[in-house]
Structure 1
Amino acid sequence: MIETVVFNDAGVTTYTEDALAEAKAATGTTWVRVYDATPEEIQTVADTFGIHPLAVEDVLNEVPPKTEEFSAYSFALVKAAELRRGEQTFEEEVLDRTVGAFFGDDWVVSMTTVGLPVIARVWDAVERGDERLLHRGADFTAYRIIDVVVDGYFELLDDIEDDIERSEEEVLESTEIETLERLNSVRRDLLAFRKIAWPTREAVGTLARGDTAHVQPETEKYFRDVYDHLVQVVDLTETYRDLARGARDIYLNTLSQSTNEVMKRLTVIAIIFLPLTFIAGLFGMNFEVMPELAWSGAYHASLFGMTAVAGILVGYFYREGYL
């Protein structure tokens, strides 16, 4: 779809898809929202605003976040991320969607392969006549688009934090395989999200430093605020990776300790039965000439001896805390 609005101090005007050139020439800031569009529709927008084909290709091919400067506009590519749950409690995946923001002196083109709720929130604010957007230029609209995308990162990290806290509680109570699978899933999610957060921070840093001609000086401070948020996001990502790694180490140590306890008990049982096996094997040998072989009380004596040896060993291991 292609949706177009032109907004200024006088209000908001909606244009049809066939009136892109008219909307671009209108007084105010023109915002064209492109999503779920056909190649022909995308090409129409690109031709109208002079967007380079390679930049459009970057959005469609979902390349890593970046910022590029062109003579007539600036191009910022970021990733909207969310945590998608699977059928099992430990199944989850970081799902990212590419958001391309092209902005010139008085126009903005946002391009996504699918409709995104985060972009829709900014669009709805424009349609409602939000004064914070109407009185500022195209660069501020681009800032708001990037800002809502970055705000979504904190929601994703909050969900991951909940998973880590739940896993930390589980590793202290049990060594179920699902706990390890959940921890491995969290670590994969953090690694995937790290590949999004790091390049996004660099891309926004270019806009925040004033290296882009189409970002007004009064708007740079807003991009710096987004950059600060991304620094915090990256720090939280590294912190959660350490927590997940620590929880996994605790799980493996707990599992190893549990295995050691099982082996200790099995060893105690083996030691108790070892002398009993020796006694039974000794007196079970098939020889005619053997001491006590013809003694009528030999059977009971051997049973008594085995019971006594077993009792002594059990008492010893109990006193040492092995049982």
Structure 2
Amino acid sequence: MRHRLKKMSRQAGKALDALEYTGDVPVQKTRVTATTYGPDGAETAVMTDREIPRVPSGDGPGKVWIDVAGLSQAEEIRRVGGLFGVHPLILEDIVQVGQRPKIEDLEDYLFVIVKAWRYDGSAKELFESQVSFILGQKALVTFREADVPAFEAVRTRIASGKGRIRNMGADYLLYALLDSLVDEHFLALEKVGEDIEDLGDKLLSDPRPTDLETIHKLKRETIYLRKSVWPLREVVSHLADGESALLRPETRLYFRDLYEHVIQIMDTVEGLLDIVGGMVDIYLSTISFRLNAIMKVLTLISTLFMPMTFVAGVYGMNFKFMPELSWPLGYPMAIGIMLLMSGGLFTFFKLKKWI
């Protein structure tokens, strides 16, 4: 699984400005996309050798969203970070992607780290990637190590003019992107919940030893989801109730609503953890029940054959004087006694409701 224990610390002897990407997403060329927007329209362009657009100044309505996809090219990260005077330690946190979701208020800008989750239906696995935000007065910069479908959905909304994004500040764009990431959490939880439900039905009908591995995988994914969501609650709470001048009062209301969504995700994750935690007991109980049923059948067969074995053992003794041995009806009599005794035992078990 590609989203778990990542290398977080830089190698010994590495300089602070080395900016070594520590993720496991396949290395790709860093792509910088700039979207300039306002009430009158929006324009998106991929920045190659062109200069990154300057941040709008003054009280005008223009805003800019700079999206950096791929964190392997240190020079591009520095180039974009230099636009805002981002501290080298912040740039280091951006490329070392094993970070815990967090928020830092550095007066001139807000620095936010969250996790994006994507469910792979073919592999039935969750994949995690890190997303970092730098929020300025009129600009938002996002750094992501992998593709995030939620970002494209927000970019489409900006281009089409739907919603409030064009008429609101850069802080509202931060809310829109975080809200889309939280929605992806819901989608991931829904898929994991379906996998858990399917596995639960399978454990009751046809449990197999390989199901223990599946249980462990689902439990591990759910635990990592919880580790991602709990600090996310702190991040959104700070955005909703913090004192940063970069967050407008009218936007804080949206962050409070987002906080309720995060709490709902936390409750869902805790519920899934409880279900997955009990699956081992379900597996063991089902296996034990099936084993008991098999042993019950085998014990019944053995008990019904015991009288037959007893009669066959008596008449198998090598005594010279056994009257039944020379009697023409001796064999039918022995068979009848065997059937009668076994039938009596079977009737007794039925009356006792043991079978």
Which TM class, normalised by the smaller chain length? Answer: 0.7 to 0.9
Range 251-260 or range 191-200, more displaced: 251-260
Q: Determine the structure 2 residue equivalent to 1:29.
A: 63
Aligned 1:283-298 pairs, distance under 5 A: 283-286=315-318, 289=319, 292=322, 295-297=325-327
Aligned twin of 2:347: 315
Identity %, equivalent residues: 32
Question: Does the 8 Å contact 1:65/1:200 carry over to 2?
Answer: yes
| Residue number among 193, 208, 217 corresponding to 2:249 in the alignment | 217
1:176 aligned to 2:210? no
Contact map agreement 1:5 1:23 (CA 8 A) in 2: no
Which residue does 2:94 correspond to in 1?
Answer: 59
- List per-residue Cα deviations over 1:63-92 (Å, max 9, x = no partner): 1211112232111111111222345xxxx2
Higher helix share: 1
- Does the 8 A contact of 2:308 with 2:338 survive in 1? yes
- Which of 63, 79, 83 matches 1:44? 79
Deviation at 1:258, TM superposition (A): 2.5
Question: Which of the residues 108, 111, 131 maps onto 1:72?
Answer: 108
Q: Is the 8 A contact 1:24 1:30 kept in 2?
A: yes
Other-structure match for 1:146: 178
RMSD of Structure 2 on Structure 1 (CA): 2.7
| Counterpart secondary structure, 2:103 | strand
Shift of the alpha carbon at 1:96?
1.3
Q: Given the alignment of the two structures, is residue 137 of structure 1 paired with residue 173 of structure 2, yes or no? A: no
The corresponding residue for 1:3 is 33
Contact 1:36 1:114 in 2 (8 A): yes
Q: Partner of 1:207 in structure 2?
A: 239
**Count of residue pairs the alignment pairs up:** 315
> Structure 1, residues 220-248: CA drift from partner, whole Å, max 9, x if none?
11111111100011011112333444565
Q: Give, as a single letter, the amino acid of the residue that structure 2 aligns with 1:265.
A: V
- Residues of 1 paired with 2:324 and 2:281: CA distance? 62
Asked if the contact 1:210–1:217 (Cα under 8 Å) also holds between the matched residues in 2, the reply is no
Q: In structure 2, what residue type is equivalent to 1:84?
A: D
Query: Is the 8 Å Cα contact of residues 68 and 74 (structure 1) preserved in structure 2?
Result: yes
Q: C-alpha distance in 2, partners of 1:163/1:154? A: 14
CA–CA separation in structure 2 for the residues paired with 1:252 and 1:47: 58
Structure 1, residues 99-156: CA drift from partner, whole Å, max 9, x if none? 1111111211011012211111112222334461122222111111111100111112
Go from structure 1 to structure 2 and tell me whether the alpha carbon gap of 1:85 and 1:293 turns closer, same or farther (over 3 Å shift). Answer: farther
- For 1:299 and 1:53, the matched residues in 2 are separated by 100
> What amino acid sits opposite 1:175 in the alignment?
D
Amino acid at match of 2:351: R
CA contact (8 A) 2:56 2:63 kept: no
TM normalised by structure 2 equals: 0.78
d(CA) in 2 for partners of 1:56, 1:121: 26
Aligned to 2:222: 190
- Gap change, CA 1:199 and 1:291, over 3 Å in 2: farther
Q: Any idea what SS the aligned residue of 2:117 has?
A: strand
Q: Which residue of 2 aligns with 1:240?
A: 272
- State how far apart, in whole Å, the 2-side matches of 1:285 and 1:57 are: 91
Q: Residue 348 of structure 2 aligns to which amino acid in structure 1?
A: Y
Q: Which amino acid aligns with 1:203?
A: V
Query: 2:93 and 2:311 mapped to 1: Cα distance?
Result: 80
Q: 1:7, 1:13 within 8 Å by CA — same for their partners in 2?
A: yes
- Unpaired segments of 5 or more residues in structure 1? none
Aligned residues of 1:103 and 1:139 also touching (Cα < 8 A): yes
- Contact in 2 for aligned 1:6/1:23 (Cα 8 Å): no
